[in-house]
Structure 1
Amino acid sequence: MRRLWAAVALGYLSLGVGLQLLPHDLAQRGGTPEPLVPVLVGLPFLASAWVRPRAGRLADRGLARGAVAAGAVAVAVGAAGQAATVNPGSVAIARLLVGLGEGLLFSGALPWVLAAAPAARRGRVAGWFGLSMWTGLTVGPAAAVLTAGLGAAGTTLAWVLAVAAPLTALGLVASAGRQAEVRSRDASPAPSDPPTGRRRRRWGRRSSAERLPGIYLGLVACGYGVVISMLALYLRSRGLPDTAGLTVLAAAFLVVRAAGSPAVDRWGPARPAAVLAVVQGVALAVLPTVTGVPGALVVCAAVGAGVALAYPCAVALTLGTPSARPPGVAIGVTTSCWDLGLFAAGLGAGALSLAAGQAAPFFAGAMASAGAAAVLLPAAVTAMRGRGADGDARTPRRQRGGRG
């Protein structure tokens, strides 16, 4: 697990460097209209949404190592493309490659890890393994900021790091212990998994309970996506430094994720997910009113804390819901909703900022976060009344033999 954790962290370090450098680089290079910048920043998430269920299916079939290795190569090629080109169309292709790579990396590795985890601990395992992603997203922007003081040479150094990190990840994946892969491959199929040959159910035929984790995660992602797409541009327009916002956000995320992941298994996913969605929504609504650097950093930290447990909560909800899908595919489909939310946020943020000003996307993100809390409110209330809504999530029905 440690080598896979490090491999995913290195892949997302590359993505983090790009998130920090790309908006500024596109503005410096010229030729890219400002409303197009958030779209290019969010483009990888569209590719990730497409590839995640396929990566999960490969992992379910015992091909996790190949999926993760292919992801590392795609991230490295995409990072090199971003550094080398100035044409918006070429940047878009490079960003799509990065997205394909990130989707293969994480959604190929997570089922590999979860297959060896006890059912009652899968929420915290998903949370802790997810820290690999956010460690990379914390270190990447920070490294880009540190090298920025070196001028053009520093920018070049940051892009070299963005290419070298996933290539290092490739070596870690190749040397990952065979035992972990065998345990993933030989894991007994869950009672609710379909027999070989059964047709996979389409999204439109999924029950409302199966859709719930994805809808929740997508709405939370819309709020977070506004921040990563617009924060640097917005702070700069207000005369505030734009270098520390994403780093503070990611650091707050890491602290809450590390400390709070066990709560997903202890209390069930619905309650912490609903509460933290409200925290994120309030922070997004307050952000456009902030006038000073300390206030902006506090709000960024609140956004990071608010989104910290969204993914482990969604995974616990997914594995706790009866489904005909194998676990890797089910998790991949849910995670794709996160990517779609991020892409929609990037696309919508650019259009909203052009039509209604740069504060408008943050208010829209706050509304999306409120919607995420509302989606989970019935389950959270039921859990508080002791009806066991979250109890089912703590011990997934896949592992208890129930189909529902």
Structure 2
Amino acid sequence: MISKYDIILVGGGAAGFFTAINIAERNPKLKIAILERGKTVLEKVRISGGGRCNVTHAEFVPKELAKNYPRGEKELIGPFHQFCSGDTIEWFANHGVELKIEDDGRMFPTTDSSQTIIDCFLQAVQRLKIDVLTGQSVQSIFQGTDYWKVETNHETYSCQKLIMTTGSNPKVWEMLQNIGHNIVPPVPSLFTFNIKDARIKDLMGISAVATVKVKGTKLEASGPTLITHWGMSGPGILRLSAWGANLLAEKNYQFTIQVNWLNDATLEETVEILKELKAIHSKKIISKKSPFDFPNRLWESLVQAAGIGTFSTSSDSQDVKWADVSNKQLLALATQLTNGEFQVNGKSTFKEEFVTAGGIALKEINFKTMESKLLPNLYFAGEIVNIDAITGGFNFQNAWTSGFILASEISK
């Protein structure tokens, strides 16, 4: 017995639901099903943004928005002209969900709860009579003359148009590879750096806006950098991990970073600033107060690292005054401030929000329709393709945009 539908979407996540809802709203006559292998749907939506769901980002210029995608920047400019973050805000408002902008540009529901987004989607699929079938693990897909056949662990389905919204699913990628698509091998994209270093050993929770470079490469990113009990995290590090996903995988996550705690100040400029501080504060204790815009404890640690008093050997060393610091020590301190080198040994997953670089090769997709260039009536939306973004609501925006374009095409 084969269950027949006009449209089947494989994957009950953000991209699957958004696409299905948009198709059904445009063409209510279509019989649509979402197949989800898990017992529940929208799990990634539930945990995203610390349970608040970072829906999108307040960047409203398509070309600027596209710059947040290490893979997919060029391909997304056209799609973003059709459905951008402003359209996302309007879409959710029309579906009863108001969004708010935070200081860093991230956008969340005003309720600060991902359940608001989940309820919005679940109510919409119920209203539009879209079948949501859970516990359906797809085993194979087959293209007939004018239909697609989908076999799951429970049942066989057929449809005219098949939409893949499974995210980073190696099993599905393998199936698509078997029917002719090229898969860019997946590597982790958003991750934090494992670092053991005396300078940051007891500074968990301290954050500073810094510029971080991977030594010997052109890789560089700026942003809040957070010291954790395992190393470094925060938006600056995550941005670097996204842009460097492939290169850092090649290095097996063993590399050196250079941290400029003053963000964009040069070594020479910093030496001059320190000399001025020495002249102004000559009688003050150097380690007592940070003269820069980052916490005192970090300043104290960097002063130590520059060889200006070592607190472990003598209590007197805490009393080193600015006047007592030599030019050589000022240079060492300026180096720690603007070009401190830290050895990275491995990575850690960023919370539960695991993002992968890799997926369907971009050249095999028509970005005006999101249809496969190789196999008619096969479509893709969301992270199943080789597109990923830095943290901040951009990965969801890709899901909304690709889903909207796909829906516009299919519902014609």
- Does TM, scored on the shorter chain, surpass 0.5? no
Please classify the TM superposition score into its range, dividing by the shorter chain length: under 0.3
Name the one with the larger helix percent. Answer: 1
For the pair shown, the structure with the greater C-alpha radius of gyration is 2
